[in-house]
Amino acid sequence: MAMRELLSLQIRLVPDLLEVMQKRLEILRKIQLQEPVGRRSLAQALNTTERILRGEVDFLKEQGLVHVESIGMFITENGKHVLESLETVMKDVYGISDLEIDLQQKLKLKRVIVVPGQSEETEEDKKELGRIAAQHLLSILREDDIVAVTGGTTLAAMAEMLQSVKQYPQVLFVPARGGLGENIETQASQVAAECAKKAGAGYRMFHLPDNLGSAAFQSLKEDPYVREMLGLICSCSVVVHGIGRAMEMAVRRNASREVLQQLKNGEAVGEAFGYYFDRQGQIIHQMETMGLRLDNVQQARYVIGLAGGKQKAEAIIGIANAGFLDVLIMDESAAEGVSLLVQ
């Protein structure tokens, strides 16, 4: 009997089963994202009372899913296993699995993973998107991989939520490019360092601005340190990158008025690695960036794209149509936006 059919029968016998299951899964998810977390803070996050929460936590504790200490609550390894297993079931029940398969076929990707929530609206949903991305990255890592990561808040969330029992001393994390001038916590070098720390891997940082002028770009390419770093970055076997909206990223990179007009005229929708794509995946403009180039991405063994928010739907479609993505991980709001635009 299929899992969906079995659960459907159980719900007919116990109508509130789904509601109770969803509520307890949400408690486990919140504990994992905020641990160690106190009962008061958890009750506020769940919009419930401490009295009601106490009974649920006691039940989860008795089942060995939650561990309570003086500094707060933690999810146990059994709790993590239950959460991961039942999240898959719940995605099936709520039709998210069908949405994943539909978008995977329409976007012509190896896999699409949809994470419940709206990561652009709440920090916890962004962490959840990062957690799922971190899990997937660890699941495909090989011992000698060079992993290139971009910056941004979603990649920073992935680094923050990465947890690994296994250590990867032979894996090397590198930034896909120099910095964009954003907060240090969200720069590619910092993301690489944090991922390496969590995975017991090595890392290298790249302390150069991404938006160099042409003369400085050509001069620095001859520097031994820059040559060595570019060699490592361009030989990466795994790429994890965020997906940006074209005009927004161009403005962040201080693009000239002429470039902005070019992007507007060409109807550019998405950006990755300094390349700007239209909805059909055609390159509208390429900026000189110190780091990963598209031909390096196309030669990588595995490419993961991350995105959150309905407003990124067109950008996601453009990047997917460019043809270098293997796996797309996005939140539910982004997936719904993409689904409305693709036929």
- Residues 126-151 have pLDDT tens digits of 999 999 999 999 999 999 999 999 99
Of the listed ranges 9-13, 16-20, 197-201, 323-327, the least confidently predicted one is 9-13
pLDDT of residue 175: 95
Share of the chain above pLDDT 90, in %: 53
Q: Tell me which of 31-35, 105-109, 305-309 is least confident.
A: 31-35
- Start-end of H helices in the chain: 3-13, 17-34, 39-46, 50-62, 77-93, 96-107, 123-140, 153-161, 188-199, 214-220, 224-234, 246-252, 257-265, 294-299, 313-322, 332-341
Confirm if 141 and 175 have CB atoms less than 8 A apart: no
Which has the minimum average pLDDT: 153-157, 161-165, 265-269?
161-165
- To the nearest 10°, the Cα dihedral for 171, 173, 176, 180? 180
Residue pair 326/241 in contact (Cβ under 8 Å)? The answer is no
User: In the predicted model, what is the mean pLDDT of the chain?
Assistant: 88
**Domains in the chain, CATH or no CATH each:** 3-92 (1.10.10.10), 96-341 (3.40.50.1360)
The span from the CA of 77 to the CA of 92, in Å, is 23
pLDDT on residue 15: 64
pLDDT band at residue 301, thresholds of 50, 70 and 90?
A: very high
Three-state SS sequence of 84-96? HHHHHHHHHHCCH
Reported confidence tier of residue 272, pLDDT bands at 50, 70, 90: very high
pLDDT at 282 (0 to 100): 97
The pairing of strands 302-307 and 283-286 is: unpaired
Token digits of residue 323: 């043809």
Strands 327-331, 302-307: parallel, antiparallel or unpaired by DSSP? parallel
Is it the case that residue 172 has pLDDT exceeding 60?
A: yes
More confident position, 179 or 64 = 64
**Mean pLDDT, residues 156-176:** 94
Residue 24 is predicted with a pLDDT of 86
DSSP 263-327: HHHTTEEEEETTEEEETTS-EEEE---SB--HHHHHHSSEEEEEE-SGGGHHHHHHHHHHT--SE
Give which of 229, 232, 239 is closest to 195, Cα–Cα.
239
**More confident: 13 or 325:** 325
pLDDT band at 337 (very low <50, low <70, confident <90, very high): very high
Q: How far apart, in whole angstroms, are the C-alpha atoms of residue 293 and residue 306?
A: 18
Query: pLDDT class for 84, splitting at 50, 70, 90?
Result: confident
| 224: pLDDT strictly greater than 60 | yes
pLDDT value at 107 more than 70: yes
**111 beta partners:** 327
